[in-house]
Structure 1
Amino acid sequence: MHVLLVEDDNRLAAALTAALARLGHQVVRAGRADDALRLKDGADFVLLDLGLPDMDGLEALRRLRRASAVPVIVVTARSEERDVLRGLRGGADDYLVKPFRTAELIARMEAVIRRGTRPLTAAGPVVAADGVRIDLATRRLEVDGRPVTLTRREFDVLALLAREPGVVRSREEILDEVWGDLLLSASRSLDVHIAGIRAKTGRPGLVETLRGTGYRLGTGTCTSGS
């Protein structure tokens, strides 16, 4: 796998490069955001530091996401909750705070890759109600006839709920199915993505929260064949 390591700390970059190389990965290191954006097309995976010398890493993430769906894990010393939320909302697949063990990083990369290869949607119905139209086959979402763009993970969560409207999915079930990692049950990642779905669609009731139980697609939502 070709890994783009965006890190300006020479010692950490060298250690991560060596660890990834031992596992057979090919690593290209970029110390600046502009170099990372230029090299993104050759990457299968991106590890992104936020403290870059030429651009804030969150802005680099936003620019990267506008052009690519490549898996991204943010690796940073920023541990404030607002930074974690901004990173996840900006399209990161995971967020890892320094210092961390290399084994944990590798495990998280493997989890991101696993869930990226699991077919969460396939040819199937269109789910529609209250002006919302979710096409599970094409992964398109429309609200009142206008297209709405979700992040890949936001749509994965919505698609899981839409496959069986009205069926309650527990937090653990969603995290296992979409993230492939039950360790995220202690994180805010799922909450962030559900909040993103509600905000972007303008339909707070599209995803219902059942306190102590889980989530389901709004009970007013129905399934159609096209």
Structure 2
Amino acid sequence: MTSILIIEDDSAIHSLIKDTLDLHGFKTISAYSGTEGKLLFAQTQVDLVLLDLMLPGMNGEEFLQELRHNSTIPVIVISAKDDQRSKLELLTSGADDYMIKPFDVKELLARIDIQLRHATNSSISNMKKIHYKNIILNLDTREVKINDQTLHLTGREYDILLLFLENPQKVFSRANIYESVWNEPFIENDKTINMHISNLRNKINVHEAHNYIKTIWGIGFKFD
């Protein structure tokens, strides 16, 4: 269930938001000051924050500033401040959206839905890429970049690199690599792995001085 933290000190507005969200299947967590909101955010799993600005204790601007030090969770500011400058300052400071009181609850629900979809899409997008130091591997397109330069890899080279990136620092024997990538039993003294590792290493080294693929003598290889 999607969890939303409501930080609003006006009891009537707070109840309106809470009742609306509860009716539409959201789990709500209530805070009536910025300080209480900060404590609850640290203690609970939250998917989105609805934030008033004029709060007792820690105000909304301070809460948002602290939140953005370690979280990218969506924040919708709901405030009576209707001047353009305040709105722009909050959006620049890290708010994802800004609504002016009084507001329509249907519009609030629509804006919440938009922010949750953006957060979900961003999370999925990040999962479809593997980042390791200067290397970015796109799982959808099978494109590999190092220092923003595209590596043109064969299918086997890509699969070997993917195996390394999913298991950095792990030492693989030639048999481990062959059986993981080719899905066939390894034949002793087969030089196939050495050839592919050498080609992959050379292609990486064209764009990167650091030697990522380390040879562990008598054992195999690891990615570092």
SS of 1:104's equivalent in the other structure is helix
> Matched residues in 1 for 2:137 and 2:119: separation?
16
Of 56, 60, 71, the match for 1:57: 60
Aligned to 1:77: 80
Amino acid across the alignment from 1:51: M
Give, in angstroms, the shift of residue 137 of structure 1. Answer: 6.2
Give, in angstroms, the shift of residue 11 of structure 1. Answer: 0.5
SS of 1:36's equivalent in the other structure is helix
Of 85, 96, 113, the match for 1:93: 96
> Matched residues in 1 for 2:106 and 2:55: separation?
24
Of 4-13 and 77-86, the range deviating more from structure 2: 77-86
Aligned to 2:118: 115
**Alignment root-mean-square deviation, CA:** 2.8
Question: Does structure 2 conserve the Cα–Cα contact (< 8 Å) formed by 1:48 and 1:74?
Answer: yes
Q: What's the TM-score, normalizing by structure 2?
A: 0.54
> Matched residues in 1 for 2:96 and 2:135: separation?
23
Question: Does structure 2 conserve the Cα–Cα contact (< 8 Å) formed by 1:77 and 1:99?
Answer: yes
Name the structure, 1 or 2, with higher relative contact order (CA <8 Å, separation 6+): 1
Give, in angstroms, the shift of residue 124 of structure 1. Answer: 7.9
Query: Quick one: structure 1 residues 113 and 55, their matched pair in 2 at CA, closer, same or farther if it must change by over 3 Å?
Result: same
Identity of aligned residues (%): 33
Question: Does structure 2 conserve the Cα–Cα contact (< 8 Å) formed by 1:58 and 1:86?
Answer: no
> Matched residues in 1 for 2:137 and 2:83: separation?
38
> Matched residues in 2 for 1:107 and 1:35: separation?
27
- Quick check: which has more Rg, 1 or 2? 2
Question: Does structure 2 conserve the Cα–Cα contact (< 8 Å) formed by 1:37 and 1:60?
Answer: yes
Give, in angstroms, the shift of residue 29 of structure 1. Answer: 1.1
Give, in angstroms, the shift of residue 136 of structure 1. Answer: 6.4
In structure 2, stretches of 5+ residues that fail to align are: 139-147, 149-205, 209-224
Are residue 5 (structure 1) and residue 6 (structure 2) matched? yes
Amino acid across the alignment from 2:41: K
Question: Does structure 2 conserve the Cα–Cα contact (< 8 Å) formed by 1:3 and 1:25?
Answer: yes
Give, in angstroms, the shift of residue 14 of structure 1. Answer: 0.7
| Superimposed CA distance per residue, residues 24-60 of structure 1 (whole angstroms, 9 cap, x where no aligned partner) | 1121111111111111142221100001011331111
SS of 2:69's equivalent in the other structure is helix
> Matched residues in 2 for 1:125 and 1:26: separation?
34
Give, in angstroms, the shift of residue 69 of structure 1. Answer: 2.0
SS of 2:98's equivalent in the other structure is strand
Query: Quick one: structure 1 residues 124 and 30, their matched pair in 2 at CA, closer, same or farther if it must change by over 3 Å?
Result: closer
SS of 1:67's equivalent in the other structure is coil
> Matched residues in 1 for 2:136 and 2:91: separation?
23
In structure 1, stretches of 5+ residues that fail to align are: 127-133, 139-161, 163-223
Question: Does structure 2 conserve the Cα–Cα contact (< 8 Å) formed by 1:125 and 1:225?
Answer: no
Q: What's the TM-score, normalizing by structure 1?
A: 0.54
Question: Does structure 2 conserve the Cα–Cα contact (< 8 Å) formed by 1:33 and 1:52?
Answer: yes
Are residue 32 (structure 1) and residue 33 (structure 2) matched? yes
Please give the residue correspondences for 1:1-226 in structure 2 after superposition, counting only pairs within 5 Å: 1-41=2-42, 42=44, 43-118=46-121, 119-120=124-125, 122-123=128-129
